[in-house]
Chain A
Amino acid sequence: MSSECAIRLQGITKTYRLYRGPVERVKQWLRPLVHHSLGKCHENYYREHVALDDVSLEIKRGETLGIIGRNGSGKSTLLQIISGIVTPAKGTVWVKGRVAALLELGAGFHPEFTGRENVYINAGLFGLSESEIDERFDDIASFADIGPYITHPVKTYSSGMFVRLAFAIIAHVKADILLIDEALAVGDAFFVQKCMRFLRKFMDHGTVVLVSHDTTAVLTLCRKALLLDQGRALRIGEAKQVCDYYLRHLYAIHAVPDDRESSIDRSSDLTGSLGSLSNNEGMSIGHLNGRHKLGDSKAVIEQVSLTDAQGGIISCVTQRERLRLSVRCKTAVQLFSPLVGFLVRDRFGQILFGQNTNLIRPQTTLSIPPGTRFLTEFEFIMPMLGKGSYSISVALAEGTQAYQVSHHWVNDAVVFESMPKEHCFGFVGVELIHAYILQQDCQDETPTPSPAL
């Protein structure tokens, strides 16, 4: 039953014709006529934009698919095609079951109508009869939780209220397939929690397609993910792998304008020396952060390693422990006041913490002669991190904290896993000194406040 197919897309291609103005459009219409009568042919009056290029996809019932990609990669168009709002230029769409779509903010509300009327219209569009909506109206109103605004025209709503009402409706229409586009980003934390609870419950039997450029939402909700890039399906598979690829891909693209002239070639031998340090598949080297211009390859990071206090290579952290990060560099020029730093990121690219040599003690007096290799060591207590993979980026610069010239920046120089022994909620674990449950005796039943408390 779970292997039943809910959505099947085959070779979906969508092209848009972009006209410079309405006159061009009319000319294009008349083109075949002119072609017939005059026998000569003007070129097309439009520019073609390919929004989706041969995307095939199959989603089984009960599956949750996340679609990620940069802006303009065709995510929303794909969702519009699945929902039937947009017809593809080529390819077939096959969808089984009642589809409820929450596309961007609009959600198909009529701005002049009150929230209540929009509930009736919108729910009616999903095939609910008047009496069915009557039955569910109170539930919808309480889910949206917008109070007396339900009787106001929706044009007076804040964007948050818009989404709350829209989500409340699709949560109550008993759909088989939910299509959600970036909508969760708008509500406040309480509402997002409510949506998450609903979605998790819905996923037990329903199919969800979620579009987002926030990989966190995709990772927490979806097991499968599709990465779109310029309308093409670049990757499809396990959400984690696709998201990892996406993040690296994103960084790679950002780095392109800067690393044209130099030093990508260095990455090959760097990978060689660093490869032995860690066998994590997520490890990569040579992606240069775009914000740090690598004007010269005069000084480079040659090797980075993460070890425990005894010098053994670490690839998995299980508790709060003392670690050593060693950074070996080589300089071709005289380095005045060198600065080495690192950043630890979680799998979403979020920076958790970082340090550099300057923050501890400014190395203003230090000067390194050309042609020498030097070693920087950071010893620090690794906090107890939540389960998952983390990466350390390392940078070599020259100057002070405020003004510096960056020589080399290596993203994901070291990748390690965290497997906390104790259960760890959230991003970091907290070390518990003690935890008690105390029973406090209460003499009389009446809740009179006692000054002793």
Chain B
Amino acid sequence: MVLGTLMSHHSLIWRLARREVISRYRGSAIGVLWAFLHPFIMLTVYALVFHEVFGSRFETSVGGPVDFSMQLFAGLIVFSFLSESFHRAPYLILNNVTYVKRVVFPLEILPWTSLCAAVFHAIASVAVLVLLYGFAYGHIPWTVVCFPLVLVPLALGTMGFSWILASIGVFVRDVGQAIGPATTVLLFLSPVFYPVSAVPEHYRWVLYFNPLTFLVQQSQDILIWGRLPNWAGLAIYALGGYLLAWIGLMWFQRTRKAFADVV
């Protein structure tokens, strides 16, 4: 059912998603190249700051030969994916009032389009990361090809929340405001800026409670350390993500009837 919404309107979703990506860079001279330039600049800055400014303090805490900035970036890709979709979700319906009031539109596909845009940006970031990794260390971990496996549960869970946020955002406009701080909290409670081992033992449960933690770690394992993913863990997460997406879609479809009365 969740995937049904994707399949039955795939050409429309594709069209809208492509449009969304293109329109974001419209008017700029180098266009979509920004999607690659942006992560490149960010990664370079991280490398500078963490390597030159903070120096070895961080290096040792990571405990590996790889630059900390690379590891940070691998985690950020996961977070940005979720954050981008979450920030867009509450406004998906509000920004497309004509689709609510003027035509019969499959509103449930709108979160898919923003997800597609997020996937595009994530892939661009991974490409930049892999490229710079190869440049710095002369080799690329082959486990990179497993990255889509991290993306699947992440995307499903994100869709579930997006549907719910898009729906509630119509009725309570405060949701859009609350997303900013909420995602920031999520970022700092996941092992993006620090490894789990740096957290005192009796607080670690907070991190493990955060569903992002596992996916961030998996992303770092695959993209940086060349470790194979935790198959069973990812399978469980994918299942949970699907369940979440299903609940989100149900919620969305149950509440959508009232959209036209409110917007």
A binds B: yes
Taking beta carbons and an 8 Å cutoff, which residues of A are in contact with B? 16-17, 22, 25-26, 80, 83-87, 99, 101, 103-104, 106-110, 112-113, 117, 120-122, 124-125, 129-130
Select the stretch in B82-90, B94-102, B189-197 that faces chain A: B94-102
Task: List which B79-132 residues lie within 8 A (CB) of chain A.
Answer: 96, 98-106
Which chain A residue has the least Cβ–Cβ distance from B20?
Answer: A112
Give the residues in chain A near B172, CB-CB below 8 Å.
Answer: 22, 25-26
**B168-179 vs A, Cβ < 8 Å mask (1 yes, 0 no):** 000111100000
Give the residues in chain B near A101, CB-CB below 8 Å.
Answer: 102-104
Give the residues in chain B near A104, CB-CB below 8 Å.
Answer: 102
Give the residues in chain A near B173, CB-CB below 8 Å.
Answer: 22
Q: How far is the CA of A164 from the CA of B260 in the complex (A)?
A: 25
A453 vs chain B, min Cβ distance (A): 56
Contact A80 B260 (CB under 8 A): yes
Give the residues in chain B near A120, CB-CB below 8 Å.
Answer: 15
Closest 6 CB pairs of A and B: A108-B103, A106-B102, A108-B102, A87-B257, A106-B98, A86-B260
Give the residues in chain B near A117, CB-CB below 8 Å.
Answer: 15, 19
Picked from B12, B99, B174, the residue with its CB within 8 Å of the CB of A108 is B99
Picked from A99, A103, A113, the residue with its CB within 8 Å of the CB of B19 is A113
Q: How far is the CA of A58 from the CA of B102 in the complex (A)?
A: 23
Give the residues in chain A near B11, CB-CB below 8 Å.
Answer: 124, 129-130
How many residues of B are counted as interface, with CB atoms below 8 angstroms from the partner's CB atoms? 23
Interface of A is mostly: mixed
Give the residues in chain B near A124, CB-CB below 8 Å.
Answer: 11-12, 15
Contact A25 B98 (CB under 8 A): no
Give the residues in chain A near B96, CB-CB below 8 Å.
Answer: 110
Contact A121 B12 (CB under 8 A): yes
Q: State whether A103 and B102 are in contact (beta carbons under 8 Å apart), knowing that A80-B260, A87-B257 are contacts in the complex.
A: yes
**B1-35 vs A, Cβ < 8 Å mask (1 yes, 0 no):** 00000000001100110010001000000000000
Complex A-B: 15 CB contacts under 8 Å = A22-B173, A22-B174, A80-B260, A85-B100, A99-B104, A101-B104, A106-B98, A106-B102, A107-B102, A108-B105, A109-B98, A112-B23, A117-B19, A121-B15, A125-B106
Which chain B residue has the least Cβ–Cβ distance from A86?
Answer: B260
B52 contacts A by Cβ under 8 Å: no
Q: How far is the CA of A271 from the CA of B100 in the complex (A)?
A: 52
Q: How far is the CA of A109 from the CA of B101 in the complex (A)?
A: 11
Which chain A residue has the least Cβ–Cβ distance from B105?
Answer: A125
Contact A85 B103 (CB under 8 A): yes
B201 contacts A by Cβ under 8 Å: no
